[in-house]
Structure 1
Amino acid sequence: MIGVAVSRHTGCSPPTELDVLGPLTDDHGRPLSLEHFARPWTPPAPQSQPPMQPPTVAVVGSSMNSGKTTTAAGLISGWTRAGLVAGAAKVTGSGSGKDRWAYIDAGARHVVDFLDFGMSSTFGYPPERLLKTMGAMRDALGHDGAEAIVLEIADGLLQEETRRLAGQLSTICRGAVLAVGDALAARAGVDLLDAVPVPVLAVSGLITASPLASREAAAATGLPVLSPSQLADGAAVDLLAERIPAP
């Protein structure tokens, strides 16, 4: 993926400079893009046979680097250890294999991301396209055989694409795990998701490295604060069994 850097965090080094020689083309000289190699979308089930969707949990965060991928990996590991076939999707972001590999290392049998659906980055795409693709990812994982699915949405709840997708999560999944770095972010994030509304199943992420901050978040939100290791050790299955209502 190549782009133009218009701003960057002060801790980031300057971007690599490239000379663009030209696009990749097909045999007829037409420029190629990921859209030409996108996965076919799973056809909808007949109305007389509504699909039985696997339980799906979203992982959202208060910001970047709040522990979303580690939280998603904890869910995957917990489900896999319990004998479930886990599926995982990275819904938004910019093209990188890091998160996909983290899901696979955690035990996910089926993995998709936005690259599979024709986007090298989801930045700037219309919300309708992103919402449709999020549903297609869930359907594709169910079609492939996943028995429990996690959808990770990049960035934080105040980022534009994330905020708009969060507003539609109730149509796609049955609850969310919120990854945060501190108790104040947990309280604010739960309030934002309650307003959508999306059921918040638990708080996780970087905050779980601090017992004190975890206790503060639990008191402020009334929710369990679960570390990725706790999710992997069984709490992920408990979330499915106890906190997500049966269909």
Structure 2
Amino acid sequence: MKSRIKKSYICSDVNDYQINLNLIKSHIPTVGDIAIFEVLNIGKHSTIQGESTRNEKIMVGDHIMAAFGHRYATAQFEGYVPDKIQTEFHILGAGGVIGEVKSTNDKFKDGGPTRLRIIGYVTDSENKIINTKTIHSSQMLTFTGSAATQTKVVLSIGSSMDSGKTTTAAYVVHSLIKQGKTVAFIKITGTAYTKDADLAYDLGASISIDFSKLGFPSTYMCSENELLNLYETLLEKTLLCEPDYVIMEIADGIYQRETRLLLQNEAFVNSVSEVIFSANDSMAAVCGVQTLRSWGIQPFALCGMFTTSPLLIEEVEALVETPIYSLKGWDKEGATELITYSGINKSRRVESSQLFLEVA
């Protein structure tokens, strides 16, 4: 065994451990199980996010510590933890999520996933495999909805991966901070990687955390109860800063399994003060609003990638009455306003404080 092991972000809480070389012959991995892997070839992932959150270059022959998990990413990989013993696996996510790729977005077909060989499982002093979820299990709360009554939760959702919901959420954080509000951010679903939470923190969130802080390599294929308990636990942690608002993001699009489970759960929806919906294009915006309304959810605003095109904005505003907000002006020195293209007066400026007085 080489002396240096590159520890991925999801394993950052693992310190005292041993490496069992024999368990790979008998143990079928489960979500959260930690192991040591050798890099066999470089595909899509040429770096992993290390325990310090720095992206670390990996090379063929390197040994990395990572955890098994599933992944759902329409723009990258669909992958799962195998239900059988095998020696070769793939990197599903840069935060240290390992599994076996089932489907790949065409843009990564040529390179494919980075391929690994398992060396051994990471075990504790009793020779039990260390599991990232088990490490944090004592912190998990049971969902009651009580945490949400102590703040205002604004939910940022989108039509798909990369629709603009993270940027929208982070800029809402920034706008509220400029008004003197205390704001926190949580990302409740997705695959372990700190980029989204980091952006919200950079833009002013007092606390910015996601599911990986509770040992979840990803939330794909979690049960509805697990998701609700994650929500309660993460929200409770943000209450330490006594936030006026908690901006919360759910990953992927509204048709994705976990997103749909949450949005169709009455107790969850009732705990949310307001919803912002981001979309890639005009059809996604219009159909997204229609779908959400059919689920009993009325977003107070539309945002996202489509707002970069005045033509797409015009297409949407001709079909829906929901106000459309762009990010323009948010990054100006001292700016505390949004630009709205709502209805008959496209030049009307609405201060973000006015906006949130309307939705509070």
Query: What TM-score do the two structures reach when normalised by structure 1?
Result: 0.89
Contact 2:139/2:233 (<8 A) preserved: no
How far apart are residue 43 of structure 1 and its match? 8.4
Superposition RMSD in Å: 2.3
Whether the 8 Å contact between 1:42 and 1:140 is mirrored in structure 2 is no
Deviation digits for residues 49-80 of structure 1, max 9, x if unmatched?
Answer: x9742111111111111011111111111111
Asked which structure has the greater CA Rg, the reply is: 2
Report the equivalent of 1:121: 218
1:218 corresponds in structure 2 to 317
Q: Distance in 1 between matches of 2:274 and 2:314?
A: 22
Shift, 1:150, TM fit? 0.9
Answering whether residue 183 of structure 2 is matched by residue 80 of structure 1, we say no
Aligned to 1:234: 337
Conserved in 2, the CA contact under 8 Å of 1:201 and 1:239? Answer: no
Give matches, 1:146-161, under 5 Å: 146-161=243-258
Instruction: Give yes or no for the alignment of 1:135 onto 2:232.
Output: yes
Residue 42 (structure 1) shift: 6.1
Contact 2:189 2:218 in 1 (8 A): yes
Match status 1:19 vs 2:117: yes
1:80 counterpart letter in structure 2: I
Structure 1 segments unaligned to the other structure (5+ residues)? none
Q: For the residues of structure 2 that align with 1:102 and 1:81, how far apart are their CA atoms?
A: 16
> In structure 2, do the counterparts of structure 1 residues 117 and 230 end up closer, same or farther at CA, with 3 Å as the change threshold?
farther
Where 1:5 maps in the other structure, the secondary structure is: strand
What TM-score do you get using the length of structure 2 for normalisation? 0.62
Evaluate the alpha carbon distance shift between residue 44 and residue 225 of structure 1 in structure 2; reply closer, same or farther with a 3 A threshold: closer
1:35 aligns with 133
Which structure 2 segments of 5+ residues have no match?
A: 1-96, 339-351
Output the CA distance in 2 between the equivalents of 1:34 and 1:147. Answer: 31
Asked whether the 8 Å contact 1:42–1:143 carries over to 2, the reply is: no
Q: Which string of whole-angstrom CA distances, capped at 9 and with x for unpartnered residues, describes residues 203-241 of structure 1?
A: 001011011211222232201111234567334433321
Tell me, yes or no, if the aligned pair for 1:60 and 1:176 is still in contact at 8 Å.
yes
For the 8 Å contact 2:160–2:279, the answer to whether it is kept is: yes
In structure 2, how many angstroms separate the alpha carbons of the residues matched to 1:171 and 1:67?
24
Match of 1:162 in 2: 259
Q: Letter of the 1:3 partner, please give it.
A: G
- Letter of the aligned partner of 2:337 in structure 1? G
In the superposition, relative to structure 1, how do residues 231 and 220 fare at CA in structure 2: closer, same or farther (>3 Å)? farther
- C-alpha distance in 2, partners of 1:29/1:66? 44
* Matched AA of 1:210: S
- In the alignment, is residue 173 of structure 1 matched against residue 272 of structure 2? yes
Instruction: Quote the sequence identity (%).
Output: 28
1:73–1:103 contact (8 Å) kept in structure 2? yes
Distance 1:202 1:42, change over 3 A: same
1:204 pairs with one of 288, 300, 303: 303
- The alpha carbon displacement at 1:118 in A equals 2.5
Residue aligned with 1:4, SS? strand
How far apart are the structure 2 equivalents of 1:144 and 1:100?
A: 16
Q: What letter corresponds to residue 68 of structure 1 in structure 2?
A: K
* Cα distance in 1 between the residues matched to 2:133 and 2:304: 33
Larger RCO, structure (CA 8 Å, separation 6 or more): 1
After TM superposition, the structure 1 = structure 2 runs for residues 24-63 of structure 1, keeping only pairs within 5 Å, are 24-38=122-136, 40-41=139-140, 52-63=149-160
Judge conservation of contact 1:55–1:173 (CA < 8 Å) in 2.
Answer: yes
Residues paired across the two proteins, number: 241
Higher helix share: 1
1:202–1:226 contact (8 Å) kept in structure 2: yes
- Change in CA separation of 1:194 and 1:43 when aligned onto 2, cut-off 3 Å: closer
**Are 1:192 and 2:291 an aligned pair?**
yes
- Deviation sequence 1:128-149 (CA, Å, 0-9, x none): 2112212332232124422211
| Aligned-partner Cα distance in 2 for 1:4–1:124 | 15
Distance, in Å, in 1 between the alignment partners of 2:122 and 2:205 is 32
Q: Which amino acid letter does the alignment assign opposite residue 140 of structure 1?
A: K
